[in-house]
Chain A
Amino acid sequence: MIRTDVLIIGGGPAGLGAAIETTNRGLKTLLVEENPIYGGQLIKQTHKFFGSHSHFAGTRGIYIQDELLKEIKKEHFSMLPGHSAVGIYDDGVIGIYDSKKNRFKKVSAKKVIVATGASEKTIPFKNNDLPGIYGAGGVQTLMNVYGVLPGKKILMIGAGNIGLIVSYQLIQAGADVVGIVEALPKAGGYDVHLAKIRRMGVPVFFKHTIVEAFGQDSVEGALIVQIDNKWKHLNGTQMQLECDTICLAVGLTPSSEILMQTGIKMTFSPSLGGYVPVHNEFMQTSSPDYFVGGDAAGIGEATSAIIEGRLAGISASDSLGKEKNAEKAYKEHVDYIEKLRDGNTGIKVKKGKYELWNKPWDTSMETFEKKDNTIKIPKGRTKAYVSIECYEDIPCNPCEISCHFKAITVGPNITDLPMLALEKCTGCMSCLAQCPGLAIFGINKNLAPGRTGITIPYELLPLPEKGDPVWGADRDGKIICSARVEAVRKNKNKTHLITISVENEYAENVRHFYPGASGDVLICRCLDITADEINDAIDRGYTDFEELKRYLRVTTGPCQGRGCRQLIMNMIRAKTGEDVSSHSTGTPRPPESALPFSAFTKGGGK
């Protein structure tokens, strides 16, 4: 029997958060984690987190588990990866399974904190069990933890945050997302996540659903259909899409099955994602011995999971008499979590939790006053500035912290929109690389006469180089103009800043670019002569065909000008405006087609 003060089940953000609190209060803490690697879902979150700068916002998820581990007091802590808790028995003994050694072990703990996370939901459609149909989290694990791409052409089902983030990550990993199918008329995820994938040209099929998947051994395609307000399929709108992977991002459900074994009170909460253990604000369940945190206590996001875990840790410590000033300890975390759940994006979880806590809910809490953060740019502005395209009340403030000139203000309510004081903005563009939503762009109208520089935060490969020709794309990913890379500013945090220049008229709309082809337009294939060389020669005064022929040797190759004569005449006409029909086009001479000299020496006669 392993004896411990506190057993934590699950080594994700909530479990690690809980361990920080219990170990720092001197409680002997054992953490079991089913997977071979600790960190839960953090280990595959390659994007920068939202939230407050003071709580890891702007940090990529993949680095957060190590930051949490640093805060855990090691002398009171032991962790068992590859161990799953398989049962809590009537006598309170917890059975754990060591998958490496194939051995069952028993644990006796004074307090148990359950931080078992969530399971992925699935939806019914024909052949929804075909290999190649994966949960979005599964896809993330495969590609971001093990470095294996799930496929080449992916169809994403669901435009919540996970669907949008994983689509973006799939593109980063080199896959092609053929589309996102969403039953609702709008995306459930953050606007900034949607904007990111939209400007990369990923089609989003709103009010659509998947009907069937097809393929022999694995996915080869899918049929989708438009639906009406009552979810009825609209005939005539069916569409077949070719893909080798279908990624389901249709939501998560709390995974707290192990707690059900203890007989604690459970309740069904649609806004928290399913059956959740009844718990108070400090994460204690209906039993004084069991605590819960993170997705197991209701689906939320990772930052609030860390905080819930910490609360559970404090609660457990408190119940063991290890916390002298519990009220103060709770307050910091309770206040922060309230802030995270302000705004339209967090309200669902907040409401679910309030119901659980029997806390009065006032419908006025559901309406948020949103500031207008659009700004007018004075005509005479020559200095570069930033365009903050963040119009949704998500909890986030790294932009404010990153600005050295205090030009951006979010304020104490981190769900408030960032406000730009244009007069203070120097155009340094530091904020671009810090914004987790990649929603800030740099605008420099003074780059060159007639051209505007647009600086774009960029996290894709390959990175372009200065001088590369690219195509400017708008917010829907549609190419609207040609552009050129003017600067590449590499950043340590891997959000690099690429400045491209476009003609002024496109400045308001270009927010992405696609690599263009570098290379030449060939006119004379025989002698490798390019359009640029010919235009250059015409500009220098070689304005008729005979001159060009002598100067560049065009049409003197083996094809005798068959391929290029007409093109060259057109180029002269276009440049000079002259009627070239009366110009000489050279005199073709024998041999008409190439033949070896030996043919002449051997034959022909006298």
Chain B
Amino acid sequence: MRIAKHPILDFKKQKRIPFYYNGEKIFGMTGDTIASALHDNGIMVYRVTDKSRKRGFFCAIGKCSSCMMKVDGIPNIKTCVTELKAGMHIECQKGKGSYK
């Protein structure tokens, strides 16, 4: 959910950019990280661990490793500090991730 109006901050209007989440086309904004774009789309589960625990992001500054996902086929990408680019393929990561 985007903040429409803020009493202190002026969010510059950004361009909508398409990307794919588990094959489905959705949209983020330029300037988004992958994590912020997913959250705006209501997607909060970024990976499922070996013990079947669902994980979202946690620290949002690249320190905790909670938000690692498969991005364009590469697993374990910290999505909270990785800029979103048009056409990216993001996948919910299973376990420790794989290249398959």
Contacts and interface: CB of A to CB of B under 8 A. Distances in A.
A63 to B, nearest CB: 11
Contacts of B63: 119-120, 255
A36 B11 contact: no
Interface string B23-54: 00000000111011001100011100000011
A138 B54 contact: no
Contacts of B44: 131-132, 217-218
Given A129-B53, A149-B1, A217-B44, A135 B7 contact: no
Nearest to A461: B7
Nearest to B12: A147
Interface class of chain A by DSSP? loop
B59 A99 contact: no
Given A148-B40, A149-B1, A150-B39, A138 B8 contact: no
Specify which of B2, B11, B56 lies most central, judged by the most chain A CB atoms within 10 Å of its CB.
Answer: B56
A152 to B, nearest CB: 8
A84 interface: yes
Nearest to A458: B7
Interface string A73-104: 00000000010100000000000000110000
Nearest to A257: B63
A148 B5 CA distance: 11
A71 to B, nearest CB: 24
Specify which of A41, A46, A141 lies most central, judged by the most chain B CB atoms within 10 Å of its CB.
Answer: A141
B64 interface: yes
A119 B62 CA distance: 10
A135 B3 contact: no
Nearest to B11: A147
Contacts of A258: none
B81 interface: yes
A137 B59 contact: yes
Contacts of B36: 142, 146, 148
Nearest to B42: A218
Given A131-B46, A148-B1, A172 B6 contact: yes
Contacts of B2: 147-149
B9 A147 contact: yes
A140 B61 CA distance: 10
Interface in A53-79: 60, 62
A150 B64 CA distance: 18
A389 interface: no
Given A34-B81, A148-B1, A135 B39 contact: no
A558 interface: no
A218 B54 CA distance: 8
Contacts of A142: 35-36, 39, 57, 60
A415 B28 CA distance: 46
B7 A172 contact: yes
Contact of A141 (B1, B5, B45, B61): B61
Given A135-B59, A138-B57, A218-B45, A119 B8 contact: no
A10 to B, nearest CB: 11
A144 B64 contact: no
Contacts of A133: 56, 58
A184 interface: no
A152 B58 CA distance: 17
B45 to A, nearest CB: 5
A315 to B, nearest CB: 26
A62 B5 CA distance: 17
B66 to A, nearest CB: 8
B87 to A, nearest CB: 16
Given A119-B63, A148-B3, A134 B56 contact: yes
Interface of A: 34-36, 41, 46, 60, 62, 82, 84, 99-100, 119-120, 122, 129-135, 137-144, 146-150, 152, 172-174, 217-218, 255, 459-461, 494
9 contacts: A36-B81, A99-B81, A100-B83, A129-B53, A135-B64, A137-B61, A148-B36, A174-B4, A217-B45
Interface of B: 1-9, 11, 31-33, 35-36, 39-40, 44-46, 53-64, 66, 80-83
Q: Which 10 A-B pairs have the closest CB atoms?
A: A131-B56, A138-B60, A146-B36, A141-B60, A131-B44, A147-B11, A46-B8, A218-B44, A149-B1, A148-B40
Given A99-B82, A135-B58, 11 more contacts: A34-B81, A46-B8, A120-B63, A129-B66, A131-B44, A133-B58, A135-B60, A138-B58, A139-B60, A174-B3, A218-B54
